[in-house]
Amino acid sequence: MYISRLSLRNFRNFNSASLGFTKGVNTIIGENGAGKSNLFHALRIMIDDSMPRSIRFYENDFNRSIGDWAGHWIVIQIIFDDLDNGEEAQSIAMHKMADAENFDSSRGTYSLFFRPRIDIRRSLFEFSEKEAKTQEELSEILSQISLNDYETVYTGRGNIDFSIDDNYSSYIGDFESMTFPDPDEERVDIYGIKIYGISIPNEFACTFAKALRDVEADLRSFKDNPLINLLRDKEKNIPIEKKSELENQIEELNKSISALDEVKSVSSGISQTMRDTVGETYAPNVNIKSELPANMERLLQSLKLWVGDPDEEDYDGRLGELSLGGANLIYISLKLLEFERIKKNEKIANFILIEEPEAHIHNHIQKTLFQKLDKESTQVFISTHSTHISSVSAISSINILARGKKKAEVFNPSNNLEPNEVIKLERYLDANRTNLLFAKGVILVEGDAEHILIPVLIKKVLGVSLDELGISIINIGSTGFENVAQLFHEERVRRRCSILTDNDISIVPLPKDEKDDDQYQRDCRNSEISGKNRKQDLDSFCENNDYVKAFYAKHTFEVDFLLEYNSHEIKETVKKAYKQKKSIESIGSLIVNDNVAISGKEILRLAKKFGKGWFSIMISENINHLTYIPQYILEALIFACPDIKKSILIYIAKYRISKLINVNIDNLNYSEIFANFNAFDDGTEALNYYKKELPNDVLSEILVLKNA
């Protein structure tokens, strides 16, 4: 038995979300604030018997995107697969087609509804039956509802996923059209059957290891300390005579400590001082007594972990001497051991929830820990923002959480992909590439040159890094764009993906008859044909997919970079690479030639001579705020990051002007422009002023492309 799906409606930052899970280890990845902890809390409400059953929700537990929470429901639903024939499992077995006598005994649903009580639901239904009704009247009814008018109900055997908008509107209520169902005709095949007499979480073995910030503090706690829980479980196995013997020894030791002359002298000194201060009548009697715990449970609570470094076998010390990562490993290990203890009991399902295990843990240990968690007959859920853990996670068992406007978005990167396509993706996505799963936007390139130089271009010209913009640039090498870009789709990861590649249009004139080509022309012609075919294939691949778009250099990345008025950067690179003045001048004259057949040929020769990747590193040292970003790269940037915050655009504007103040170009008074720009209180007005004063600037191009 395992959880195959979790659906959430109106719970915290989840407006309507549905996550699919597999047997074994499941990974939930996402940036900070994406909802990983909220998702775990929802799971624990349903399956963790350490959570209270009388769950109460509050106003801030409702998703903010719905506006006024009054009248809305919070719904948490779990679908289980591979149910056995036990009574507890069958209490949640799902009905088939509303036929109570013919149900699917291998699949079950378990739901929580936090909903208005039936009298409130009746009043909403009666209101919706009125012929003449207004939103004002509905608002008046809703304004009278408080949380005291709500109830928490658990059901099994429901058939409807309430994360689907149409289902929510039909069976809970449509607040726009003001229609609400009749609660007295509540259908058990829709909502499920109320569960009485059986506590479903009690039938599970569930262990939760929370994200750790202070391991020592957690291990000092009596309430949540997994070490204490393990020792407490063992206490009942200690023979009574052994307990009595130890407790008697502690009592004798306490008496011996209290009877020490040094202890008595301090005690009498305190008593005498008290009498001298307040007199015999009011002075309390004072004694110093040893209070080593004589109770066996208290004795066990006094036990502490001592640990040693694996490289120092003969030494161990207190937990505080261990690194934070080592302490986290100790805690996780204790929680897993605690799980093995409760798992031994006869439970119908076993679950482990581990929140962000990567904290302070070395990369290799993160991967090893993840791979070791695949336990027999146990379903594991791990939340993480570690690319090292995500790199060893199966794509089919990953759910991605992303921050949306007032609500989380959920992506399943393997949804509707063929198994062989999933296998290829899993082989490709190592730790350096899985950051594309965390990004707000992605740019795919096929060479080292673009991968090295584009991030430098963005940072030096705009003053912000791709990381600040939430964009990952991924070098796919020879993998093929389509193999990776298929991740970005309405059914999978709903994030923008720009593909950057070359059109490879020949830089030299080609004869009409290919038989007249020399060797260089033949190579150029073949590249042009390949470029044309590649463009046709990519354009066809991107068609009807709003999340992927290809952008093309007219010739090649190096040639197009040069043609965008960047000969200065290339000449500066040549000066550092060559020592002979004659070579520098000769190359420089070729680079600035207006004929692309000459300048393009020379830049490609240099790239080949030094190697494209190394040549890009050399050029990157000469990039500055005056360097031009090729138009197709700008367009790819805007497509991948369509929602650049206004605050970032204003930051770029200030960066650009402050850099231009010290450069005497265009005979503009940049100091005055800077002062005027900063005088605006409204960001939109400031940016419009920037476009007006600097219409040819790169930021103005970006604003035009964004229609901002």
**In this predicted model, what pLDDT tens digit does every residue of 220-274 receive, in sequence order?**
555 556 666 656 566 566 676 777 787 788 888 878 888 888 778 877 877 777 6
pLDDT tens column, 462-521: 999 999 999 999 998 877 899 999 999 999 999 999 999 999 999 999 999 999 999 999
Predicted confidence at residue 90, as pLDDT, reads 75
Mean pLDDT within 45-67: 91
Predicted confidence at residue 321, as pLDDT, reads 46
pLDDT band, residue 128 (cuts 50/70/90):
very high
Mean pLDDT within 339-351: 73
**Stretch among 180-194, 228-242, 459-473, 623-637 having the lowest mean pLDDT:** 228-242
% of the chain exceeding 70 in pLDDT: 81
Same domain, 192 and 58: yes
CA distance 705 to 138: 43
76 lies in a domain? Answer: yes
Of 14 and 221, which is predicted with more confidence?
Answer: 14
pTM score of the predicted model:
0.80
The 3-class secondary structure across 522-588, one letter per residue, is: HHHHHHHHHHHHHHHHHHHHHCCCCCEEEEEECCCHHHHHHHCCCHHHHHHHHHHHCCCHHHHHHHH
Mean pLDDT within 289-311: 61
Same domain, 183 and 242: no
378 has a pLDDT exceeding 80: yes
99 has a pLDDT exceeding 60: no
Question: 263: buried, middle or exposed (CB in 10 Å: 19+, 13-18, 0-12)?
Answer: middle
Same domain, 166 and 121: yes
Predicted confidence at residue 302, as pLDDT, reads 61
Q: Which domain holds residue 238?
A: 228-303
pLDDT band, residue 381 (cuts 50/70/90):
very high
Domain termination residue (choose one: 198, 215, 242) = 198
77 lies in a domain? Answer: yes
Q: How far apart are the first and last CA of the chain?
A: 52
CA distance 671 to 676: 9
Same domain, 63 and 182: yes
Mean pLDDT within 115-121: 96
288 lies in a domain? Answer: yes
255 lies in a domain? Answer: yes
136 lies in a domain? Answer: yes
CA distance 116 to 144: 12
Using CA atoms, how far residue 417 sits from 7, 13, 109, 428, 438, in Å, is: 22, 28, 26, 15, 20
Same domain, 183 and 250: no
Same domain, 188 and 238: no
98 has a pLDDT exceeding 50: no
> At 56, which amino acid appears?
R
Same domain, 108 and 235: no
Domain termination residue (choose one: 254, 273, 303) = 303
**Tokens of residue 86, six digits:** 């036990």
Same domain, 232 and 180: no
Domain termination residue (choose one: 236, 271, 303) = 303
Question: 315: buried, middle or exposed (CB in 10 Å: 19+, 13-18, 0-12)?
Answer: exposed
CA distance 334 to 688: 59
pLDDT tens column, 101-113: 555 678 889 999 9
Of 29 and 290, which is predicted with more confidence?
Answer: 29
Same domain, 194 and 235: no
**Tokens of residue 18, six digits:** 């549905």
Mean pLDDT within 119-139: 94
Same domain, 74 and 189: yes
Using CA atoms, how far residue 160 sits from 43, 78, 100, 109, 183, in Å, is: 19, 11, 15, 9, 16
Domains identified in the chain, total number: 2
